[in-house]
Structure 1
Amino acid sequence: GQRPSLLSSDPQGKRGIQGTDAAGAPGRRTSLQEDAQKDAPATEPLGKGEGLVWEEEEGRATLILTFTLRNARKAGLSKTAEVFETFEAGIHHFETRQAKKSKNTTDDLEFFVKCEVDNSYVSVLINSLEKVAEDVKTIREERVPWFPKKIRDLDKCHHLIAKYEPDLDHDHPGYTDPEYRKRRAFFTDLAFNYREREVYRKLNSLYPTHACKQYLDVFQQLEKCCGYQEDSIPQLQDVSRFLKERTGFQLRPAAGLLSPRDFLASLAFRVFQSTQYIRHSSSPMHSPEPDCCHELLGHVPMLADKEFAQFSQAIGLASLGSSDVEIEKLAALYWFTIEFGLCKQNGSIKAYGAGLLSSYGELVYALSNTPEHKPFDPELTAVHPYQDQTFQPVYFVAENFEDATAKLQKYALKIKKPFSLHYDPFTCSIEILNTPQKVKNMLSQMKEELKNLCFALENIS
Structure 2
Amino acid sequence: MQLFASCDINLTHIESRLKSFTRDGPSFHIDFQGPVEEPKIQRLMKEIKVLSGVYSVEAMAPREALGFPLNIRDLDLTVDTLDGGSALINEDHPGFSDAEYRGRRDRIVQLAKAYRHGDRLPFIEYTDKEISTWQAVYERLQDCHAKWACTEYREMLQQMEKYCGYRANNIPQLADISDFLQQRTGFTLRPISGLLSARDFLNALAFRVFYSTQYIRHHGNPFYTPEPDVCHELLGHVPLFANPAFADFSQEIGLASLAASDDDVTRLASVYWFTVEFGLLREGNDCKAFGAGLLSSFGEMEWACDADPSEECREMGSMKELTKPTVLSLDPVQAAKQEYPITTYQPVLFCADSLQDAKTKISHFCDSLTRPFFPQYAT
Asked if 1:298 corresponds to 2:236, the answer is yes
TM-score (norm 2): 0.72
Q: How does 1:210-229 map to 2 (within 5 A)?
A: 210-229=148-167
For residues 335-360 of structure 1, what are the alpha-carbon distances to aligned partners after superposition, in whole Å with 9 as ceiling and x for unaligned? 11001100101332110001111111
Asked if 1:160 corresponds to 2:160, the answer is no
Report the alpha carbon displacement of residue 290 of structure 1 after superposing the two structures with TM: 1.0
Instruction: Give yes or no for contact 2:277–2:294 (8 Å, CA) kept in 1.
Output: yes
Q: Give the SS at the match of 2:376.
A: strand
The aligned counterpart of 1:338 is 276
Instruction: Give yes or no for contact 2:63–2:373 (8 Å, CA) kept in 1.
Output: no
**Identity fraction in percent:** 43
Q: How does 1:266-277 map to 2 (within 5 A)?
A: 266-277=204-215
How far apart, CA to CA, are the structure 2 residues paired with 1:102 and 1:234? Answer: 63
Q: Of residues 96, 102, 105 in structure 1, which corresponds to 2:42?
A: 96
Do the aligned partners of residues 161 and 93 (structure 1) sit closer, same or farther apart at CA in structure 2, a change above 3 Å counting? farther
Q: Of residues 138, 149, 154 in structure 1, which corresponds to 2:70?
A: 149
Greater gyration radius:
1
Q: How does 1:63-74 map to 2 (within 5 A)?
A: none
How far apart, CA to CA, are the structure 2 residues paired with 1:390 and 1:289? Answer: 13
Instruction: Give yes or no for contact 2:150–2:289 (8 Å, CA) kept in 1.
Output: yes
Report the alpha carbon displacement of residue 287 of structure 1 after superposing the two structures with TM: 2.6
Report the alpha carbon displacement of residue 195 of structure 1 after superposing the two structures with TM: 1.2
Q: Which runs of 5+ in 2 are unaligned?
A: 1-29, 108-125, 308-323
Q: Which amino acid aligns with 1:166?
A: N
The aligned counterpart of 1:379 is 333
Instruction: Give yes or no for contact 2:199–2:257 (8 Å, CA) kept in 1.
Output: yes
Q: Which amino acid aligns with 1:368?
A: D
Do the aligned partners of residues 173 and 358 (structure 1) sit closer, same or farther apart at CA in structure 2, a change above 3 Å counting? closer
The aligned counterpart of 1:327 is 265
Q: Which runs of 5+ in 1 are unaligned?
A: 1-65, 67-90, 104-133, 426-461
Report the alpha carbon displacement of residue 141 of structure 1 after superposing the two structures with TM: 4.4
How far apart, CA to CA, are the structure 1 residues paired with 2:223 and 2:247? Answer: 26
How far apart, CA to CA, are the structure 1 residues paired with 2:325 and 2:222? Answer: 22
Do the aligned partners of residues 424 and 201 (structure 1) sit closer, same or farther apart at CA in structure 2, a change above 3 Å counting? same
TM-score (norm 1): 0.60
The aligned counterpart of 2:26 is none
The aligned counterpart of 1:10 is none
Asked if 1:415 corresponds to 2:348, the answer is no
Q: How does 1:311-460 map to 2 (within 5 A)?
A: 311-369=249-307, 370-425=324-379
Aligned residues: 300
Instruction: Give yes or no for contact 1:252–1:272 (8 Å, CA) kept in 2.
Output: yes
Q: Which amino acid aligns with 1:165?
A: I
Q: Give the SS at the match of 1:317.
A: helix
Instruction: Give yes or no for contact 1:257–1:275 (8 Å, CA) kept in 2.
Output: no
Q: Which amino acid aligns with 1:144?
A: A
Q: Which amino acid aligns with 1:96?
A: Q
The aligned counterpart of 1:15 is none
How far apart, CA to CA, are the structure 2 residues paired with 1:209 and 1:362? Answer: 13
How far apart, CA to CA, are the structure 2 residues paired with 1:335 and 1:260? Answer: 11
Instruction: Give yes or no for contact 1:288–1:390 (8 Å, CA) kept in 2.
Output: no
Instruction: Give yes or no for contact 1:161–1:259 (8 Å, CA) kept in 2.
Output: no
Do the aligned partners of residues 144 and 360 (structure 1) sit closer, same or farther apart at CA in structure 2, a change above 3 Å counting? same
Instruction: Give yes or no for contact 2:259–2:372 (8 Å, CA) kept in 1.
Output: no
Instruction: Give yes or no for contact 2:198–2:265 (8 Å, CA) kept in 1.
Output: yes
The aligned counterpart of 2:18 is none
Report the alpha carbon displacement of residue 199 of structure 1 after superposing the two structures with TM: 0.2
Q: How does 1:204-243 map to 2 (within 5 A)?
A: 204-243=142-181
Instruction: Give yes or no for contact 1:285–1:361 (8 Å, CA) kept in 2.
Output: no
The aligned counterpart of 1:199 is 137
How far apart, CA to CA, are the structure 2 residues paired with 1:144 and 1:182? Answer: 41
Instruction: Give yes or no for contact 1:140–1:418 (8 Å, CA) kept in 2.
Output: no
Larger RCO, structure (CA 8 Å, separation 6 or more): 2
Do the aligned partners of residues 183 and 273 (structure 1) sit closer, same or farther apart at CA in structure 2, a change above 3 Å counting? closer
Q: Which amino acid aligns with 2:261?
A: S
Report the alpha carbon displacement of residue 401 of structure 1 after superposing the two structures with TM: 1.1
For residues 358-390 of structure 1, what are the alpha-carbon distances to aligned partners after superposition, in whole Å with 9 as ceiling and x for unaligned? 111111111134111011101000010111112
The aligned counterpart of 1:260 is 198
Q: Give the SS at the match of 2:337.
A: coil
Q: CA RMSD in A?
A: 3.1
Q: How does 1:118-157 map to 2 (within 5 A)?
A: 137=58, 139-157=60-78
How far apart, CA to CA, are the structure 2 residues paired with 1:340 and 1:147? Answer: 27
Report the alpha carbon displacement of residue 144 of structure 1 after superposing the two structures with TM: 2.0
How far apart, CA to CA, are the structure 2 residues paired with 1:323 and 1:241? Answer: 34
The aligned counterpart of 1:250 is 188
Instruction: Give yes or no for contact 2:198–2:269 (8 Å, CA) kept in 1.
Output: yes
For residues 122-166 of structure 1, what are the alpha-carbon distances to aligned partners after superposition, in whole Å with 9 as ceiling and x for unaligned? xxxxxxxxxxxx968452544321111211111122242354322
